[in-house]
């Protein structure tokens, strides 16, 4: 641990203390993560709910979904996944709203209205953000996953980490680190994972559900996307896409497509990768990834999205061709400016 880490952990302990104080005083608590929730959003939210319920008996804790959707198929195995309430159907005025895996309010979608009716707000997240909000804003872009922060909150409380909590948090960390393979897979993530396995998490059960239970329809779509990968800029940029017609023809569902960007990024020599998915309403979801030091978050932000340096996303309404025409030159510019920086 270096001096910088110590400062980060001291600040985190201070925030944990304040969040704990807000929980002490609250009777009704809601927890919500971002729209289109992924493994970290769902796993860290469920784990936090279970931690609070068992460490503070008698609190009314509700896990909300930001969208009017069901939990994505791959994550329905998570303990507690059937307990989510859609934010649009939640009528209470909670004493405390805890935002996890999110630090910009528009991505709360329908839960924004609940946030506005809440007495207090706390944020626990790892996305870079320059617009703090709420009573406690604990945002650590250096943390591999929100699940890491929630696991450390459990340790801070001295709470009993049950096997269910451990499985939710392990899922959060394994998915956000791309199975401990991305640049964010640091020793803190491994330490948390080790602690969670000791607490009863089952990596093989989680892998079986998240990585080895694809429907054939999805795998057929994956083969279409794989067959369409294009590289350019001397192989340094890769992209591919799936149209709404591809989804319809194969029978794959939009919420099954999270792993397709990993197929695109797996090309040898690729430094930045782009995957576009056209939804039935014609809008296009973009996933951007950087395998090296390049920062692609600015490209996502310029399209109204956001995310981290190495993993970011956006939504566009201009269709696949026009989106490619906008994004690809920006990716080339990112590579060119990094090259210039290295040369200089
Ligand atoms: P993904 O490509 O897996 O959807 O997202 C990669 C990362 O970027 C995730 O951490 C996600 O939360 C963030 N992200 C994705 N889309 C958006 C967006 O539209 N706005 C913001 N602010 N962040 C996003
Ligand atoms: Mn996350």
What are the structural domains, with CATH classification, of the chain?
3-210 (3.90.1640.10), 216-343 (3.10.310.30)
Q: What is the mean pLDDT of residues 267-293?
A: 96
Ligand 1 atom nearest the C-alpha of 315 is 19
Q: Is 35 in the pocket of ligand 1 (CB under 6 A)?
A: no
Q: Please give the Cα distance from 109 to 93 (Å, whole number).
A: 17
Q: What is the tens place of the pLDDT at every residue in 125-181?
A: 999 988 999 999 999 999 999 999 999 999 999 999 999 999 999 999 999 999 999
Q: What is the tens place of the pLDDT at every residue in 182-199?
A: 999 999 999 999 999 999
Q: Report the DSSP beta bridge partners of residue 230.
A: 239
Residue to mutate (ligand 1; options 307, 309, 314, 323; most atoms within 8 A of CB): 307
Q: Please give the Cα distance from 76 to 228 (Å, whole number).
A: 30
What value does the CA radius of gyration of the chain take, rounded to a whole number of Å?
A: 20
Running DSSP on this structure, what letter comes out for residue 236? T
Q: What is the mean pLDDT of residues 202-218?
A: 97
Residue whose C-alpha is closest to residue 279's, from 305, 316, 312: 316
Residue to mutate (ligand 1; options 34, 255, 290; most atoms within 8 A of CB): 34
pLDDT, position 344: 43
Q: pLDDT grade, residue 255 (50/70/90)?
A: confident
Looking at the predicted structure, is the pLDDT value of residue 291 above 60?
yes
User: Pairing relation of β-strands 272-278 and 311-316?
Assistant: unpaired
Residue 344 CB burial class (10 angstroms; 0-12, 13-18, ≥19): exposed
Q: Is 175 in the pocket of ligand 1 (CB under 6 A)?
A: no
Q: pLDDT grade, residue 3 (50/70/90)?
A: low
Q: pTM (2 decimals)?
A: 0.94
Which residues neighbour 72 within 8 Å (Cβ) at sequence distance 6 or greater?
37, 42, 255, 256, 258
- How far apart, in Å, are the Cα atoms of 311 and each of 51, 85, 307? 28, 28, 6
Percent residues over pLDDT 90 in the chain: 94
Angle at 330 between CA 140 and CA 142, to 5 degrees: 10
Q: Please give the Cα distance from 159 to 150 (Å, whole number).
A: 11
Running DSSP on this structure, what letter comes out for residue 68? S
The total of other beta-carbon atoms located within 10 Å of residue 73's CB is: 15
Q: Please give the Cα distance from 88 to 110 (Å, whole number).
A: 6
- Cα of 132 vs centre of ligand 2, distance in Å, is 17
Looking at the predicted structure, is the pLDDT value of residue 246 above 80?
yes
pLDDT, position 340: 85
Q: Please give the Cα distance from 39 to 170 (Å, whole number).
A: 9
Q: Is 315 in the pocket of ligand 1 (CB under 6 A)?
A: yes
The tokens for 148 are 């890491």
Q: What is the mean pLDDT of residues 263-288?
A: 97
The total of other beta-carbon atoms located within 10 Å of residue 319's CB is: 15
Which residues neighbour 191 within 8 Å (Cβ) at sequence distance 6 or greater?
none
Q: What is the tens place of the pLDDT at every residue in 63-121?
A: 999 999 999 999 999 999 999 999 999 999 999 999 999 999 999 999 999 999 999 99
Q: Is 287 in the pocket of ligand 1 (CB under 6 A)?
A: yes
Looking at the predicted structure, is the pLDDT value of residue 2 above 80?
no
Q: What is the mean pLDDT of residues 10-27?
A: 98
Residue whose C-alpha is closest to residue 31's, from 51, 55, 15: 51
Mean per-residue pLDDT over the chain, rounded: 96
The tokens for 221 are 């779509």
Q: Please give the Cα distance from 310 to 174 (Å, whole number).
A: 16
């Amino acid at each position: 641990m270096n001096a910088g880490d110590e400062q980060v952990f001291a600040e985190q302990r201070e925030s944990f203390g304040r969040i704990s104080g807000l929980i002490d005083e609250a009777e009704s608590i809601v927890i919500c993560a971002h729209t289109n929730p992924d493994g970290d959003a769902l796993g860290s939210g469920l784990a936090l709910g279970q931690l609070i319920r068992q460490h503070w008996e008698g609190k009314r804790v509700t896990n909300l979904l930001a969208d009017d959707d069901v939990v994505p198929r791959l994550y329905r195995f998570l303990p507690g996944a059937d307990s989510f309430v859609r934010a649009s159907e939640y009528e209470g005025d909670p004493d405390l709203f805890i935002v996890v895996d999110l630090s910009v309010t528009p991505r709360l979608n329908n839960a924004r209205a609940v946030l506005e009716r809440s007495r207090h707000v706390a944020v626990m997240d790892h996305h870079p953000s320059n617009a703090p909000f709420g009573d406690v804003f604990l945002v650590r872009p250096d943390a591999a996953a929100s699940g890491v922060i929630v696991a450390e909150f459990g340790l801070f409380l001295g709470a009993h980490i049950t096997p269910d909590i451990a499985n939710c948090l392990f899922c959060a960390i394994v998915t956000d680190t791309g199975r401990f393979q991305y640049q964010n897979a640091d020793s803190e993530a491994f330490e948390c994972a080790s602690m969670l396995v000791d607490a009863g998490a089952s990596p093989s059960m989680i892998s079986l559900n998240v990585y080895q239970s694809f429907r054939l329809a999805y795998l057929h779509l994956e083969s279409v996307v794989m067959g369409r990968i294009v590289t350019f800029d001397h192989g340094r940029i890769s992209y591919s896409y799936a149209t709404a017609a591809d989804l319809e023809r194969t029978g794959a569902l939009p919420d099954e497509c999270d792993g397709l960007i990993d197929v695109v990024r797996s090309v040898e020599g690729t430094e930045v990768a782009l995957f576009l998915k056209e939804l039935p309403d014609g809008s296009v979801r973009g996933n951007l990834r950087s395998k090296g030091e390049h920062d692609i978050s600015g490209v996502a932000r310029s399209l109204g999205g956001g995310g981290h340096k190495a993993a970011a996303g956006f939504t566009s309404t201009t269709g696949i061709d026009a989106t490619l025409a906008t994004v690809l030159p920006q990716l080339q510019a990112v590579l060119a400016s990094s090259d210039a920086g290295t040369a200089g």
